[in-house]
Amino acid sequence: MATLKNDQTKLQVALFDEEGHTRQGIAEMLDIPVSTVKDFLLKNTHRGWWDRYEDGELDKGGPIEGVDAKLTISGEPVELHNFEHTAMKQALDGVWSLGKNLMVISDTHFPYHHPDTFDFIRYLKAKYNIDGAVSVGDMNDNHYPSFHEKEADCYSGSEELRLSRLACQELESIFPEMLISEGNHDILAKRKAQSADIPLEWVSSPNTVYDLRGGWEWGSHHYFMAGDSKVLLVHSVSTNTRNNATKYSHCSVQGHHHSEYCVAYTSDTDVLRWSMSVGCLIDPKSPAFRYDKNNILRRPILGLGVILNGTPMLEPMVLKSNGRWRGW
């Protein structure tokens, strides 16, 4: 197995790992084998490289954005925190800065999303002059590879993937850069691979699967700034939004619970915290959600969230009697 011999490359791996990048992602960005990245991290030696960086022991050149050391690979300077992004930036502590006015996109479950989803998103982006976006996950339904019984009148596996790819690309045209907290539906391919004893390194990244340009950051969770507040982006914490606000030392946004659509606040002697659950943007008439047809008292609530200079708000998609968005 190849080993890392270059100090700068070791530091790169350590920093990317601190930022929460996957081993596959680190390997692709540095053009080194995944097995080499995995071996380096498993030996727990990367912590020492991070400490050496913070202590100033490694070679430092001129400053680059967000980093006080000029790192190089093969003699070329490398900018750590902005490989594929221009507006979306990540600080050393792993907290993203996305802009002043943000959109929180709820569970879309492509390709079984509501037919007016993109018109709704475009309208609200213009209405609030949105700078950046995050997604709470379950962006794609992955009904065909599900562990549950399949609905016979849903799409075939290849057709579902084709339509999901087109939907992701349309959303990418609206928000080329976005943070996504992977939901339980998003990781079905990984779970299937694990069940079949297939190494996860063999599973392509979502940006590759959906033929995207690389500006979307996928992960189990992320942190971002909204005004002066640090916010946790995660697919699901718990159904009780108020408990979420009380339980954590930071604000949070979540999805997963299609019938949970609210903002809850809590406070102590020092801070005011909030938590937001953003419902979904599914098509309730789709056979993919037939499992929920008898749940009369807790129907899906369609909508999304916006955060304006740190203040969370909900924007429901109000429907007409025929099930279509009533528009503006």
Q: What would the pLDDT profile of 3-16 be if each residue is shown by its tens digit?
A: 666 666 777 777 66
| Pair of tokens at residue 57 | 């022991």
Q: What would the pLDDT profile of 188-237 be if each residue is shown by its tens digit?
A: 888 888 888 888 888 889 999 999 998 999 999 999 999 999 999 999 98
| Pair of tokens at residue 251 | 């604000």
The pLDDT value given to residue 63? 34
Q: Give the domains, in start order, of the chain with CATH numbers.
A: 7-83 (no CATH), 95-316 (3.60.21.10)
The pLDDT value given to residue 166? 97
Mean per-residue pLDDT for 31-58? 62
Give the distance, in angstroms, between the CA of residue 214 and the centroid of all CA atoms in the same chain. Answer: 13
Q: Determine the Cα–Cα distance for residues 135 and 280; give it in Å rounded to an integer.
A: 11
Mean per-residue pLDDT for 263-291? 90
Antiparallel, parallel or unpaired: β 178-181 and 261-267:
unpaired
Element holding 209 (H helix, E strand): helix 206-209
Q: Determine the Cα–Cα distance for residues 289 and 282; give it in Å rounded to an integer.
A: 9
Give the distance, in angstroms, between the CA of residue 236 and the centroid of all CA atoms in the same chain. Answer: 12
* Rounded (5°) CA angle 151-156-157: 110
The pLDDT value given to residue 241? 87
Is the confidence at residue 21, as pLDDT, over 70?
Answer: no
206's CB contacts (< 8 A; 6+ apart) are: 180, 182, 186, 212, 216, 218
Q: Determine the Cα–Cα distance for residues 88 and 235; give it in Å rounded to an integer.
A: 20
> Would the pTM of this model clear 0.85, i.e. be above it?
no
62's CB contacts (< 8 A; 6+ apart) are: 70
Task: Give φ, ψ of 27 to 5 degrees.
Answer: -60, -40
Nearest to 132 by CA among 91, 97, 164: 97
CA–CA distances in Å: residue 200 to residues 9, 71, 85: 23, 29, 25
Mean per-residue pLDDT for 256-283? 93
The pLDDT value given to residue 301? 95
The pLDDT value given to residue 75? 44
Q: Determine the Cα–Cα distance for residues 36 and 162; give it in Å rounded to an integer.
A: 33
Q: Determine the Cα–Cα distance for residues 324 and 290; give it in Å rounded to an integer.
A: 19
**Contact between residue 284 and residue 303 where contact means Cβ atoms under 8 Å apart:** no
Confidence of residue 307 (pLDDT cuts 50, 70, 90): very high
Name the residue with higher pLDDT: 130 or 70.
Answer: 130
Q: Determine the Cα–Cα distance for residues 226 and 100; give it in Å rounded to an integer.
A: 7
The pLDDT value given to residue 60? 40
Confidence of residue 71 (pLDDT cuts 50, 70, 90): very low
Q: Determine the Cα–Cα distance for residues 204 and 214; give it in Å rounded to an integer.
A: 13
Nearest to 95 by CA among 13, 179, 12: 179
Mean per-residue pLDDT for 66-91? 44
Tokens 């992977």 found at: 182
